[in-house]
Amino acid sequence: MNKPLPVVMSFSGNDPTGGAGIQADIESATSMGARVAPVITAITIQDTQNVKFFSAVDAKMVIEQARVILEDMPVAVFKLGMVGSIENINAIHSVLHDYPEIPVIVDPIISAGGGKSLASYEMALAYSDLIFPLTNLVTPNSNEIRLLAPGADSLDACAQELMDDGCEYVLLTGTHEGTNQVINTFYGHHKKIEASCWERLPHSYHGSGCTLTSAIASLVACGHSISDATSIAQQYAWQSLVYGYQSGMNQYHPDRFFWTKGWIESDNRSELKNMTQSEEKTARRLD
């Protein structure tokens, strides 16, 4: 029997542009060798410029989507993206609380790339009270971390505050800072562990945070440590932006399947053709 792929249960919103949200999670997980069990928390109406409107899924539906799957199959990692409402934070908390052995990786979505707010001040407080005490890794950008730790006077102090709330590790991303390079800083166990610098790319990208966090969650699901997963996923997310393209009129989309390009263009393609043909033959024989 074939071995099943490890499952990342992703609490996420739907983005009809296909750039962020659940589609970003599914594409990143597939790229990393994992699979998403999608628990939809919100429906959004948006284009590549901004979110126009969103509606949170009823909290009871969020709990039921998750619990039915958790009773049916092993889940390796919980990944949280857009949660939609304070009721959904409570609902997700109740699910995570019942599965303390499953690692929790959180992308605290506070606003869309175009600026539309996707979480209230009360929701930021609820992350600190209910989600961070159960979180292994949180991946805020600098705008998000300032909202999540309003009392802190520097980005290092903000990360410290999230670790004081209970997060084991923090990966603070630097895309929104005015630095020449993008500097991502990894903290853990109350210390700064590592800063990594990335060439700043020329465009504005939609779904980059979702790509990074779901790649980390998937690598952890595949057995990597949080620290290794964080390094590998940064490389993957950056490459997906290098290959990014403009499918609408505004923000660019990452190409999360950039890694298939060389493969499809190379001789492997004929190998695939041969394989498919021989499988077809086998299938015909069985018929």
Please give the residue ranges that form the binding site for ligand PLP (CB under 6 A): 13, 15, 20-21, 44, 46, 51, 81-82, 109, 112-113, 206-210
Measured from the CB atom, the residue of 112 and 160 that comes closer to ligand PLP is: 112
* Least distance CB 286 / ligand PLP (angstroms): 43
* Least distance CB 175 / ligand PLP (angstroms): 9
Measured from the CB atom, the residue of 144 and 161 that comes closer to ligand PLP is: 144
Measured from the CB atom, the residue of 160 and 230 that comes closer to ligand PLP is: 230
Tokens coding 287: 């018929």
* Least distance CB 98 / ligand PLP (angstroms): 25
In degrees, to the nearest 5, what angle opens at C-alpha 110 toward C-alphas 113 and 256? 50
Contact 216, 230 (CB under 8 A): yes
Amino acid at 91: A
How many CA atoms lie within 13 Å of 158's alpha carbon, on the beta-carbon side? 22
Measured from the CB atom, the residue of 44 and 185 that comes closer to ligand PLP is: 44
* Least distance CB 27 / ligand PLP (angstroms): 12
* Least distance CB 212 / ligand PLP (angstroms): 8
* Least distance CB 203 / ligand PLP (angstroms): 12
Strand order in the sheet with 191-199: 51-56, 35-46, 7-14, 77-80, 104-106, 137-138, 169-172, 181-188, 191-199
Tokens coding 206: 């939609």
Element housing 53 (H / E): strand 51-56
Distances from the Cα of 20 to the Cα of 135, 192, 271, angstroms: 22, 29, 33
Measured from the CB atom, the residue of 176 and 281 that comes closer to ligand PLP is: 176
Measured from the CB atom, the residue of 135 and 139 that comes closer to ligand PLP is: 139
Residue 196 sits at φ, ψ, to 5 deg, of -125, 140
* Least distance CB 71 / ligand PLP (angstroms): 26
Contacts of 138 (CB under 8 A, 6+ apart): 105, 106, 107, 108, 132, 162, 167, 169, 170, 171
Q: Is 223 left (phi over 0), alpha (psi -120 to 50) or beta?
A: left
Contact 175, 185 (CB under 8 A): no
At which residue do the structure tokens 């949180």 appear? 138
Q: Which residues make beta-bridge pairs with 104?
A: 78
* Least distance CB 82 / ligand PLP (angstroms): 4
Measured from the CB atom, the residue of 53 and 270 that comes closer to ligand PLP is: 53
Measured from the CB atom, the residue of 6 and 21 that comes closer to ligand PLP is: 21
